[in-house]
Amino acid sequence: MYAGVAGLFGVLVTRGGSGPSEGAAAKPFDLPLASGAGSFKLEEHRGKPVLLEVFASWCGACEHAAPMVDEVYQEAKQNGVVFVGVSVDNDAAAALRVQKQWPITYPVAVDDGQVQRGYGVSLLPTFVLIDRDGTVKRVSSGVPSRRTLSRWLSEL
């Protein structure tokens, strides 16, 4: 019985309904970077896979996941995978603070609602993998395992 409950929980965490549908076209966005050094424009990364991590500074699960996600980023960036954190705090200072404290070495953008509304994000963190053609390949509501993230990236 416990294995069945754990399996059901795993399905709910990874396909809990937050985020866009797999197979959908990724909606373009242009968000300022928390660092103040420009912006992140999804369209500028067409031709490369992009992993979005939608999070908030007050999200404990997001903070807990940060070291693992950053490790995967360090490995994946050599293969041309683009990572971007998207803070739904709508507060550049909060986003920059967590980027330094957690730490996150990939760019962090500050969402003004474009991503949260446009991608249908209702749970944090939500991860969205977009392929080279701009199609949503994978979505995870909650923290995917390191193994899952690595598998996603190897499928590209």
Q: Which domains does the chain have, with CATH numbers?
A: 2-154 (3.40.30.10)
pLDDT score of 14:
39
Residue 125: asked if its preceding bond is cis (omega within 30°), the reply is yes
Mean pLDDT of 127-151: 96
- H/E segment holding residue 72: helix 60-76
pLDDT score of 31:
98
Pick from 152, 149, 135: which is nearest to 22 by CA? 135
pLDDT score of 9:
34
List, in order, residues 6 or more apart from 135 with CB less than 8 Å away. 23, 24, 25, 26
Mean pLDDT score of the chain: 90
- Is there a contact between 53 and 69 (Cβ–Cβ < 8 Å)? yes
How far lies 76's CA from each of 3, 61, 133, in Å?
32, 22, 18
Pick from 108, 89, 115: which is nearest to 37 by CA? 108
How buried is residue 37: exposed, middle or buried, by Cβ count under 10 Å (0-12/13-18/19+)? exposed
Model's pTM, two decimal places?
Answer: 0.87
